[in-house]
Amino acid sequence: MELAYQKQNKEKFARYLFRRKIIFIIAFVGYVSAYLVRNNFKLMSSTIMATNGWDKADIAFLLSCLTISYGLAKFYMGALGDRVSLRKLFSISLGASALIAIMIGFFNTSITTLAILLVLCGVVQGALAPASQAMLANYYSNRSRGAAIAGWNISQNAGSALLPLIIVALTSMGLVVPETGNILMAFLVPGILVLLVAYLCWRYGGDSPESEGLDSLRTMYGDAGESNVATEEEREGLSYWQLIWKYVFTNPQLLLVAAVNVALYFLRFGIADWMPIYLNEVGNLSNTQAQLAVSVLEWVAIPGSLVFAWLASKYPNKMAKIGALGLFAMVGFVFLYEKLVSDGVTNYPFFLVICGILGALIYGPQLIVNILTIDFVPLNVAGTAIGFVGLTAYLIGNMGSNWLMPILADQFGWFWSYTVVAFLSAFAAVGYLVLSKTEEKVKVV
């Protein structure tokens, strides 16, 4: 089907392939930029706390304003993306995020003001992941969609790593001086940069090939254009809300994907967020050694995710099985990590290697969630599905790790905290194995 179409429509197909590349660049760079105006408060929170004479509870409250509003917004902003222009939603939300970050730089002496700004930041940021992933889903066929989503997933690691480097550079130039409370440029410079990126997203982003006078994925690729979870006749016979009810809220496969993602978010934040305290208290490592371990975990996640992106390209309808293998391996590495720390980390270089492997096995299998979410729903409700899966992950997985990890550690010891992490890794692996059969059925390549 694809070869016949290419021969008959060479010029149009070439224009589609060019636009597909542009859409990936926009989605990737745009989401990298999202992190440049999302984590500014978190990185500068210690200075803001000291300057205003606040305590840790105040900062925890403010961070929760961002986390909760962001988690909720992923769902309803994702649903909005199914009804409006993805290009406009993405670029406007990104620009609004930049403006809010700049405002935080100017107005950070009032808890009430900061709470309002961080809630607003979470709301507009909630549109960015669903909108950018939906753009990719609309332009990439079954064979290439998994690799595109997997490649896009690295943008969150790149953005998380880039913002601290920008702030370090501004500090070295004397434009940011935390000791005196002079931190405006840590918000203003990234904000202005992201405003420029938002304009490029508005100018060059897209909604779908059809909106640009090109043919649909199914016309170009046949059954391999998009997942076969619903025929065109089935979709046309249902209203938008009926589609959401059938293919999102009561879709067994998507509900299992959401459950797997909850487990993976607990795994991710349970390890990464509690690593500094755990390594200090139990491993007797210095703050510098603990921070280096966290950095290694995040940086190795990038090449680790690239490996999974390559596997997604090579085995486009077998990603669930690959994710399961990675998560079964994760069970063993979680217990090895706990053992090394509880014994006092006598071989620090080897310990850093283990931290790097943890990073690869956290983020690699997690990107598969994004691939399966899009595979298991019709494209016209992809944004809602992405938002729903993200909502459950943040409100149950992330918040659960924030509360359950320290409670278990205080009551029974850190070993049992990480036993729960290992159990959830095994649960997610089994979930992927169950989903692998459906993946091969709906994703013709």
pLDDT at residue number 63: 84
pLDDT tens-place string over residues 27-41: 999 999 999 999 899
Distances (CA, A) of 189 to 98, 195, 211, 258: 10, 10, 35, 37
Question: Over pLDDT 90: what percentage of the chain?
Answer: 57
Mean pLDDT of 129-147: 92
- The separation between the first and the last C-alpha atoms of the chain, rounded to the nearest angstrom, is 11
Q: Indicate if the pLDDT at residue 205 is higher than 60.
A: yes
**361 in Cβ contact with 333 (< 8 Å):** yes
Is the pLDDT at 298 greater than 60? The verdict is yes
Q: Which of 134-148, 167-181, 189-203, 269-283 has the highest mean pLDDT?
A: 189-203
Q: With b meaning 16 or more CB within 10 Å and e meaning fewer, what string describes 237-261?
A: ebeeeebbebbbeebebbbbbbbbb
Cα–Cα dist 303/351, whole Å: 18
* CATH classification code of 232-442: 1.20.1250.20
What's the gap between Cα 227 and its chain centre?
22
pLDDT at 226 over 90: no
What pLDDT was estimated at residue 224?
81
- Residue 203 confidence (pLDDT) above 90: yes
Q: pLDDT digits over 94-111, tens only?
A: 999 999 999 999 999 999
What pLDDT was estimated at residue 445? 64
Confidence band for 313, pLDDT divided at 50, 70 and 90: confident
Residue 406 · residue 241 · CB < 8 Å: no
**Is the pLDDT reported for residue 81 higher than 60?**
yes
Q: Average of pLDDT values for 301-309?
A: 89
Going by C-beta distance under 8 Å and a sequence separation of 6 or more, which residues neighbour residue 27? Answer: 132, 133, 135, 136, 152, 155
| Residue 243, pLDDT score | 86
388 confidence band (pLDDT: 50, 70, 90): very high
Cα 96 to its chain centre, rounded Å, is 19
Residue 333 has pLDDT above 60, yes or no: yes
| Range with the largest mean pLDDT of 121-125, 273-277, 404-408 | 121-125
> What is the mean predicted confidence (pLDDT) over 165-190?
91
Average pLDDT, the chain: 90
Distance between CA atoms of residues 324 and 317, nearest Å: 14
44: helix, strand or coil: helix
**What value, to the nearest 5°, has the Cα angle with vertex 298 and ends 127 and 423?**
85
For residue 60, the model assigns a pLDDT of 80
**Domain limits, CATH 1.20.1250.20, in the chain:** 2-208, 232-442
C-alpha to C-alpha distances, 370 to 145, 202, 231, 258, 389, nearest whole angstrom: 10, 24, 22, 10, 9
Q: What is the pTM of this model?
A: 0.84
DSSP 8-state code for residue 249: I
Q: Is the pLDDT of residue 426 over 80?
A: yes
- pLDDT band at residue 273 using 50, 70 and 90 as cut-offs: confident
What pLDDT does residue 312 have?
Answer: 85
Tell how far CA 115 is from the center of its chain.
23
How far is C-alpha 68 from the chain's CA centre? 15
The pLDDT value recorded for residue 379 is: 86
CATH of 2-208, one of 1.10.630.10, 3.30.2130.30, 3.40.50.2300, 1.20.1250.20: 1.20.1250.20
For residue 308, pLDDT over 80 is answered with yes
Return d(Cα 287, Cα 12) in angstroms, integer: 57
Segment 342-360 mean pLDDT: 94
Which pLDDT value is given to residue 131? Answer: 95
Q: What percent of the chain has pLDDT over 70?
A: 98
